[in-house]
Amino acid sequence: MVFADALTKAGRLVEMQRMFATRPNRGFRTAEIAERLGIAPRTVRKYITEMSASGRLPVILEKKKWYLTPEARIEIPPVRFALEEAAAMYLAARLLCRHVDEPTEAVRSSVAKLASVVPSDLGGVMKQLTNRLKGKTGDQFVKVFQVLAYGWALRREVDLLYRALNWPEPRRCRLRPYLLEPSVRGFSLYVLGHAEPPGELRVFKLERMIEATLTNETFKPVNTEELLERVDKSWVVWMTDQESVPVRLHFAPVVARQVCEARWHASQALEERPDGSVEMRLAVASTIELVPWILGWGEACEVLEPADLRRQVAAEHAAAAKRYEKKV
């Protein structure tokens, strides 16, 4: 029990360091720290005295708030995972392995490092994941991924040669990579950022990048929380300044349970009907990305609104049915 308590204290001390390290200019009240760590305020003061004396958390008290001292550097010790935390890390690594269709060295090495810090119960399984990622990787994708990763982390502009699906020829632009975003559907990676031209926020798919070159030009950080909120409104990554489009879908009883078991979108609201069917309401930035998902349900999903989406899906189903009427 003493060992378990020691681990709990060590974890809380690390968490307290992280609070100040991630927000170096913000002040924290003792009560706020206590609530975050799940301990009494007097214990927080004891921890702060202990950490400050050892130099692990150089803080000062001003107007009843604790602040990190100017130009202070916090050395956070290696992370320890409880078994349930390690299980969560394994699931994250598994999703990463299944998601990335180009097994870059960065993915392989990151999973290998996770395997070295989780408990041995799961470390062996994660090492097996590392071995499964070995293989030939597309050189161009590796280079593009590396450039975008550095540009994103270091806030440096990237010269980009890109070919969209509807462009006959590749085009060049200067990109400020604000955010890297994996697609929930489609197993692809995207970058969101300001592109010049056209001088607006754009979304680019990494797999469509022909060349990416890191420049020495830097850019100011942006509010990534606002970007993440905009991404949450999209079905995949489609972003627009217009109001979200309200959508109503009706799912037949045969798929109702499957629909209710998953969280398909942040805005979804489900209503079960007496006949066993389910109605889904959601609001998305654009219905363009939504169409293939709806079609995947076949006749089990009916679009109730908006009317233009209903007509589009109906036309797609009619065209598919006509194709299957042809004799082979």
pLDDT of residue 104: 59
233 within some domain: no
Kindly state whether residue 26 falls inside one of the protein's structural domains: yes
Same domain? 39 vs 98: no
Same domain, 262 and 285: yes
State the alpha helices, DSSP H only, in the chain.
2-22, 30-37, 41-54, 83-99, 105-117, 120-132, 139-154, 224-233, 253-260, 290-296, 307-325
DSSP symbol at 242? S
- Decide if 160 is inside a domain: yes
- The CATH number for 18's domain is 1.10.10.10
Q: How far is CA 213 from the centre of its chain?
A: 24
State whether 259 and 281 are in the same domain: yes
Collect the ranges in the chain with pLDDT lower than 70: 1-7, 74-84, 86-87, 89-91, 93-111, 113-139, 184-187, 327-328
Is residue 238 in some structural domain?
no
pLDDT at 117: 64
Q: How many CA atoms lie within 13 A of 273 on its CB side?
A: 14
For residue 90, being part of any structural domain is answered with yes
Report pLDDT for 159.
Answer: 96
CATH number of the domain enclosing 218? 2.30.30
Strand partners, 209: 162
3-state secondary structure of 244: coil
Question: What pLDDT score was predicted for residue 136?
Answer: 46
User: Read out DSSP for 91-115?
Assistant: HHHHHHHHH-SS--HHHHHHHHHHH
pLDDT digits (tens, 9 = 90+) for 98-148: 655 555 566 666 667 666 666 665 666 666 666 665 554 556 777 888 888
Domain identity same for 127 and 186: no
pLDDT for residue 207: 86
Do residues 182 and 148 share a domain?
Answer: yes
pLDDT at position 4: 39
Q: What is the pLDDT of residue 209?
A: 92
For residues 218 and 272, membership in a common domain is answered with no
Q: Domain limits at 199?
A: 139-223
Same domain, 144 and 126: no
Same domain, 61 and 91: no
What does the pLDDT read at residue 130?
Answer: 65
Cα dist. 285→165, 177, 229, 236 in Å? 20, 21, 11, 9
Is 78 within a domain? no
Task: Pick the last residue of a domain from 223, 257, 290.
Answer: 223
Q: Indicate the burial class of 158 (C-beta count within 10 angstroms; 0-12, 13-18, 19 or more).
A: buried
Residue 58 located in a structural domain: yes
- The pLDDT assigned to 12 comes to 84
Whole-number pLDDT of residue 111 = 66
Whether a cis peptide bond, with omega within 30° of 0, leads into 197 is: yes
Residue type, 133: L
Q: How many domains does the chain have?
A: 4
End-to-end CA distance of the chain: 72
Residue 321 within any structural domain of the chain: yes
pLDDT in tens, 37-59: 888 999 999 999 988 888 888 88
DSSP 219: -
